[in-house]
């Protein structure tokens, strides 16, 4: 039966993939990958020889129809991103939506995503939280931060190491320097670490030690 498989891939350690995910990637007809060069490392590691083609934010509009046509013709197609779960701050939503419109079966496998371990290791309340992904780089950035002043749930953001310090300063100005937060970087990799403290303490820490690697920023919600 034709189907779209949405397959999470490791965010760091290559062993953070399920047996089921490997089986799906080996047995499907075609893999659409955010970056075939990046994904080739994972595919070679698990001896996955299924053909792979690029599907990323720069070509998804023009390739969307052809991907759907392939599935409608009877193929089983897997979608993967460079790391984590497709559609979570990665391409995937548009394809899933189009497949749903065409009554195509969509099967999303459970698996790796960076924000869950970051939330847990932050030691901030995890019973209620909101995932914000990446803040706008320019237009709408301050507006979004101002809106989040009223947020009482723990907030999770993805951020570039080059913008982290600026982001911490903007949040400190909006939320107060005493707001608790945590910065997790290189999740599931050799140099994984989580630094916890107030926004002021984190600003001081990363001023002295510029961050490297992929960043997840977790901030406590405001008082109700």
Which CATH topology does 3-108 take? Cobalt-precorrin-4 Transmethylase; domain 1 (3.40.1010)
Per-residue pLDDT of 111-162, as tens digits, reads: 989 999 999 999 999 999 999 999 998 889 999 999 999 999 999 999 999 9
The dihedral through the CA atoms of 117, 123, 128, 134 has a sign that is negative
Stretch(es) of the chain classified as CATH 3.40.1010.10: 3-108
pTM metric for this prediction: 0.91
pLDDT recorded at residue 94: 94
Stretch(es) of the chain classified as CATH 3.30.950.10: 115-219
Contact residues for 60 (Cβ-Cβ < 8 A; gap 6+): 91, 94, 95
| Strand positions, DSSP E, the chain | 3-6, 30-33, 52-54, 76-80, 106-108, 129-134, 154-159, 180-185, 193-198, 215-219
Q: Is the pLDDT of residue 224 over 80?
A: no
Nearest in space to 2 (alpha carbons), one of 101, 99, 111: 99
Mean of pLDDT over the chain: 95
Q: What is the largest CA-CA distance in the chain?
A: 57
d(CA 163, CA 215): 10
Per-residue pLDDT of 23-54, as tens digits, reads: 999 999 999 999 999 999 999 999 999 999 99
Which CATH topology does 115-219 take? 3.30.950
The dihedral through the CA atoms of 209, 201, 163, 56 has a sign that is positive
Report residue 62's pLDDT band, with 50, 70 and 90 as the boundaries: confident
């Amino acid at each position: 039966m034709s189907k779209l498989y949405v397959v999470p891939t490791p965010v760091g350690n290559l062993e953070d993939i399920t047996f089921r995910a490997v089986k799906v990637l080996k047995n499907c007809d075609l893999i659409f990958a955010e970056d075939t060069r990046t994904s080739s490392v994972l595919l070679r590691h698990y001896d996955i020889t299924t053909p792979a083609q690029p599907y990323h934010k720069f070509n998804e509009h023009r390739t969307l129809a052809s991907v759907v046509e392939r599935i409608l013709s009877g193929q089983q197609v897997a979608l993967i991103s460079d790391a984590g779960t497709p559609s979570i701050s990665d391409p995937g939503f548009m394809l899933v939506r189009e497949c749903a419109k065409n009554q195509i079966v969509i099967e999303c496998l459970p698996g790796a995503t960076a924000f869950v371990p970051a939330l847990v290791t932050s030691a901030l309340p995890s019973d209620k939280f909101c995932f914000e992904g990446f803040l706008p780089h320019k237009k709408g950035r301050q507006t979004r931060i101002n809106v989040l002043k009223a947020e009482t749930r723990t907030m999770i953001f993805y951020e570039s190491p080059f913008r982290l310090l600026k982001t911490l300063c903007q949040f400190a100005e909006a939320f107060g320097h005493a707001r608790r937060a945590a910065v997790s970087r290189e999740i599931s990799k050799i140099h994984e670490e989580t630094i916890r403290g107030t926004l002021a303490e984190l600003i001081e820490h990363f001023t002295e030690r510029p961050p490297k690697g992929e960043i997840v920023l977790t901030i406590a919600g405001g008082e109700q």
